[in-house]
Amino acid sequence: MALPGAATGSLPLSRPRPASRLRPLPPAARPAPPADALLNTALALEVSPGRRSARVLAAAGGTAPPPSRLAGTGAELVTLPRPEGGWIGILAAPPGAIRQLPRHVLDPWAQEAGIALGASSPVEDPRYLSAALEEAESAVRLVERALGTGCRGVEDLGPYRWILTLSLSQLWQVLLGPELGPVLRLEAGETARLLPVLDALLRTGGDRLQAAALLELSLPELETRLARLAQQLGSDFLSPARRAILQAAWIAYRLRAEPENLLPAGQEAAGAGA
């Protein structure tokens, strides 16, 4: 199942303040676990080509699943502390089983436990575990911000992988600026009124009645805000083609934007400094 276009949780709805330059989203402030710890753990679990594959897991909190949740899968899990909280782990299993574990075993458990969990792609060579850890960290950041709880493997991220890896300045140039820039440059109050409307319309596939119900607005109130969105984004912004690209831009904004540092120099929001 694809990741939903609308994320749960609080939204950065205030107007981005102008900044002198764009900064990329800073990497998580964590020292990576020593390479030898990852390698030794994988070797102890007999990870090797043709014998056992592994995934690196990164959890944003909580504790590891009990062994009973892995019963019958042929999998073993060894965990290590994650400096910023939670844990990382190496999950080893036969190659045929390792691909199914994130969605069919770990996702239901993580939702029950109320934690965000990310899984790397399967690896057979322990030398690649450091790169696998970076994949797991990217996946858990996406789960935290887009889903809240559950587990996703990096292969489930699809186009969200480039949203997480491009610099913020690149995202602004190719996606955020062209699609959302006209709304983000408005005055703070108007931006705060319009972004929830855009979110609701994207969630409901453009259904005005459902969007009005989500926002607890009357239909005339919604139509007024929708007309203002159309002035900024174009009258076709709810067409299937435009809605698809706006949805990508909206997800990128929610996952990556630092509201106080989003607009490039020279593109100040209306009313800045007032």
Domain 35-157 has CATH 3.30.70.270: yes
How many alpha carbons fall within 13 Å on the CB side of residue 192?
A: 9
Per DSSP, the three-state class of 13 is coil
SS3 string of 123-152? ECCHHHHHHHHHHHHHHHHHHHHHHCCEEE
CA distance 162 to 266: 26
Residue carrying the six token digits 């009124």: 193
Write down the domain spans for the chain.
Answer: 35-157, 166-261
Q: Measuring CA to CA, how many Å separate 33 from each of 40, 59, 138, 202?
A: 12, 14, 16, 40
pLDDT, tens digit only, all 274 positions of the chain: 444 443 333 333 333 333 323 333 344 444 455 567 778 888 888 888 888 999 999 998 888 999 888 988 889 999 988 877 889 999 999 988 898 899 899 999 999 999 999 999 999 988 888 889 888 988 888 888 777 899 999 888 777 777 777 778 888 888 999 999 999 999 988 999 999 999 999 989 899 999 999 999 999 999 999 999 999 999 999 998 898 889 888 888 887 764 444 444 444 444 433 3
CA angle 19, 24, 30 (to 5 degrees): 125
What DSSP character marks residue 47? -
260 conformational bin, left if phi > 0, alpha if psi -120 to 50, beta if neither: alpha
247 touches 5 (CB < 8 A): yes
